[in-house]
A and B are shown apart, each in its own frame.
Chain A
Amino acid sequence: MEANVTLKKICDRFPDSVVETHSYRGDDTAVVKKDDILKICQFLRDDKELLYNFMMDLTAVDYLGTEPRFEIVYHLYSLQYNRRVRIKAKVSESDCSIDSIVSLWIAADWFEREAYDLYGIIFKGHPELKRILLYDGFEGHPLRKDYPIKKRQPLIGPTN
């Protein structure tokens, strides 16, 4: 099973950090503990047999009603081996933070800001964590499932 090399390698290397793995519809996925996200990502990027050099996508999902509530989803791509992997880390509402991976991939900068903006996830160590799609002063995080769809927050001119 050539496609599962990645999952096998991270399971061998970090047996305590990987919570579960699956390959639904051919998408290799590993759920990892959030405290180890940085070292797992570093391993995925630098290991000679993995070389995940692209941080393709980073987003969050709100599973309201479950605990931990949020999932941070990373999609990585290895140009060398033409492989993709999805890494997920669960984040609870009470400690809504995870280590930033900007130090590994500069591409994560804006993606993390977006996840912060829309979901309110704090990325520890991010150089400039502020809103990106919405304006400063917007209240709440609209992609959370408990944010009402019809709520309006008109921005009437700058306050300064």
Chain B
Amino acid sequence: MADLAKDLHTEHMVMNMGPSHPVTHGTVKFMVTLDGETIVDLKTNIGYLHRGFEKMCENGTWEQVMPYTDRLNYVSPLINNVGYALAVEKLIDIDVPDRCKYIRVIASELARISDHYTNIAAGGLELGAFTAFLYFVEARELVWDLIEMLTGGRVTSNYVRIGGLKNDIPDGFKEKTQDVFRRCRELWTDIHKLLTKNRIFIDRVRGVGTMPPDEAIAYGFTGPCLRASGVLYDVRKAHPYLVYDLMDFDIPIGENGDNFDRYLVRMEEINQSMRIVEQALEKMPKGPINVDMPQYRWQAKNDVYNKIESLIFHFKTVTEGIKPPPGEIYLAVEGGNGELGFYLVSDGSGKPYKCRVRPPCFPLTAAMPRMVKGGFLADIIPTFDMINMIGGECDR
């Protein structure tokens, strides 16, 4: 039989996957060159969700950028909000009140939990584990209930403000969080039982899409995918922002850098994020949530209506935008997928001169060919799931 096959005339087949394929969630196109079922070459085409984020930012005020950041990584928009606000605050040199820092940590971690839920749920779904999807989507709905309670929105929250927050934590938030986390932990255990030792799941993800640590660094990996390769780098620990240095949490790392480790790292990060939220709710001090700098942060509505100075500042900041001093800064926060960096340039006017986002899933998507070449066509699915490419963030 082998001799017979040797003489057969075979040739490679080029196939398009996407841009609208069930597993390429986030509109990306793969041009796969196949030898039978083995991937010989893969080319990734992105840009289907490009909407000119930077150009839009450059033509709005600094505050008008905030809703655009919601649409970057739309699975964890609160982290984008926090990252952008921190970047502008670094540019202006604002130190927000302690209570605001704690609430931002809570918001970021809730967003991270929902990000990881979505990723694992969708990953399970695409490998045929529909039950896992339903369970984690239930958990995500519960976390979104919390986010809704806090911000008023479920997906595009637009909650953080430069120099503060839209509103304080509502009454009963702590009790509600305890209830939600109790149920989420049950669901986490169910998922753990359904997937972590599931033979079918393990066969699909273990040893697939492996990335050795040195290559992961060279490709610019950050976040769970880098940590799955065994490299200990988390912005929350390396450059602690807000009050992460006061929180007690662990950073899980993997050993093999394959998709299974990426899954395990994310599963553990969910637990660690819950720990952070609980600690932050416990330790949170009382006090204001906004800085008292009327040229940058709006005053309370009551003051705006009743005091002439507040009204003037409100009018100036709304019509002309806030005016950070000229300069440039780079600030990174730990997003759901890795290092979410903002590089801002101000020329002293009311509009950003440059508002660059370093999208964490951009280098991950760029490494797709490296991760799947030589594997089977079906391996694209778990690998692409576990790098968690988010179109809104990758294409901007």
A interface, CB within 8 angstroms of B: 24-25, 27, 29, 53-57, 59, 61, 73, 75, 79, 82, 84, 86, 105-107, 109-111, 114, 118, 131-135, 142-143, 147, 149
Q: Is the CB of B219 within 8 A of A106?
A: yes
Q: Which residues of chain B come closer than 8 Å to A134, judged between CB atoms?
A: 47, 50
B interface, CB within 8 angstroms of A: 46-47, 50, 52, 54-55, 59, 90-91, 93, 217-220, 222, 231, 233, 238-239, 327-330, 332, 339, 341, 343, 345, 353-354, 356, 358, 362-363, 365-366, 395-396
Q: Is the CB of B358 within 8 A of A56?
A: yes
Q: Is the CB of A82 within 8 A of B238?
A: yes
Pairs across A and B, CB under 8 Å, 26 listed:
A24-B329, A25-B93, A25-B329, A27-B328, A27-B329, A53-B218, A54-B217, A55-B220, A56-B222, A56-B339, A57-B330, A59-B343, A75-B330, A75-B358, A79-B217, A79-B231, A84-B330, A106-B218, A107-B218, A107-B219, A110-B363, A111-B363, A133-B47, A135-B47, A143-B54, A143-B55
Q: Which residues of chain B come closer than 8 Å to A82, judged between CB atoms?
A: 238-239
Q: Which residues of chain B come closer than 8 Å to A27, judged between CB atoms?
A: 328-330
Q: Which residues of chain A come closer than 8 Å to B353, judged between CB atoms?
A: 61
Q: Is the CB of A86 within 8 A of B217?
A: no
Give bound CA distance, A55 to B244, whole Å: 25
Give bound CA distance, A107 to B345, whole Å: 23
Give bound CA distance, A135 to B362, whole Å: 17
Q: Which residues of chain B come closer than 8 Å to A75, judged between CB atoms?
A: 330, 341, 343, 358
Q: Which residues of chain A come closer than 8 Å to B233, judged between CB atoms?
A: 79
Shortest Cβ distance from residue B310 to the other chain A in the assembled complex, whole angstroms: 29
Extra A-B contacts (4), CB below 8 Å, given A75-B358, A133-B395 = A56-B332, A75-B341, A79-B233, A133-B396
Give bound CA distance, A109 to B233, whole Å: 22
Shortest Cβ distance from residue A160 to the other chain B in the assembled complex, whole angstroms: 14
Q: Which residues of chain B come closer than 8 Å to A118, judged between CB atoms?
A: 54
Q: Which residues of chain B come closer than 8 Å to A110, judged between CB atoms?
A: 362-363, 365-366
Of all A-B residue pairs in the complex, the 9 with the closest CB atoms, nearest first, are A107-B220, A133-B47, A57-B358, A110-B366, A133-B50, A59-B356, A61-B354, A107-B363, A106-B218
Q: Which residues of chain A come closer than 8 Å to B52, judged between CB atoms?
A: 142
Q: Is the CB of B218 within 8 A of A132?
A: no
Give bound CA distance, A55 to B221, whole Å: 10
Question: In the complex, what residue of chain B is closest to A59 when comparing beta carbons?
Answer: B356
Q: Is the CB of A61 within 8 A of B395?
A: no
Give bound CA distance, A79 to B217, whole Å: 9
Q: Which residues of chain B come closer than 8 Å to A106, judged between CB atoms?
A: 218-219
Contacts A110-B362, A142-B52, A143-B55 given; indicate if A57 touches B356 (C-beta within 8 A): yes
Give bound CA distance, A79 to B362, whole Å: 20
Q: Is the CB of A54 within 8 A of B330?
A: no
Shortest Cβ distance from residue B334 to the other chain A in the assembled complex, whole angstroms: 13
Give bound CA distance, A134 to B365, whole Å: 16
Output the residue of B238, B328, B358 with the most chain A CB within 10 A.
B328
Question: In the complex, what residue of chain B is closest to A149 when comparing beta carbons?
Answer: B59
Shortest Cβ distance from residue B212 to the other chain A in the assembled complex, whole angstroms: 13
Q: Which residues of chain A come closer than 8 Å to B47, judged between CB atoms?
A: 131-135
Shortest Cβ distance from residue A75 to the other chain B in the assembled complex, whole angstroms: 5
Give bound CA distance, A67 to B52, whole Å: 26
Shortest Cβ distance from residue B256 to the other chain A in the assembled complex, whole angstroms: 19
Q: Is the CB of B55 within 8 A of A142?
A: yes
Give bound CA distance, A111 to B219, whole Å: 11
Give bound CA distance, A68 to B365, whole Å: 33
Output the residue of A118, A131, A132, A135 with the most chain B CB within 10 A.
A132
Q: Is the CB of B354 within 8 A of A25?
A: no
Question: In the complex, what residue of chain A is closest to B54 when comparing beta carbons?
Answer: A143
Give bound CA distance, A55 to B231, whole Å: 15
Q: Which residues of chain A come closer than 8 Å to B366, judged between CB atoms?
A: 107, 109-110
Give bound CA distance, A61 to B326, whole Å: 14
Q: Which residues of chain A come closer than 8 Å to B329, judged between CB atoms?
A: 24-25, 27
Q: Which residues of chain B come closer than 8 Å to A61, judged between CB atoms?
A: 345, 353-354
The one of B50, B330, B363 that contacts A86, using a Cβ cutoff of 8 Å? B330
Contacts A110-B362, A143-B54 given; indicate if A133 touches B238 (C-beta within 8 A): no
Give bound CA distance, A135 to B395, whole Å: 12
Give bound CA distance, A54 to B328, whole Å: 21
Shortest Cβ distance from residue A138 to the other chain B in the assembled complex, whole angstroms: 10
Give bound CA distance, A24 to B344, whole Å: 12
The one of A53, A131, A149 that contacts B217, using a Cβ cutoff of 8 Å? A53
Contacts A73-B343, A75-B358 given; indicate if A54 touches B46 (C-beta within 8 A): no
Contacts A25-B327, A110-B366, A134-B50 given; indicate if A57 touches B219 (C-beta within 8 A): no
Contacts A75-B343, A84-B330 given; indicate if A25 touches B358 (C-beta within 8 A): no
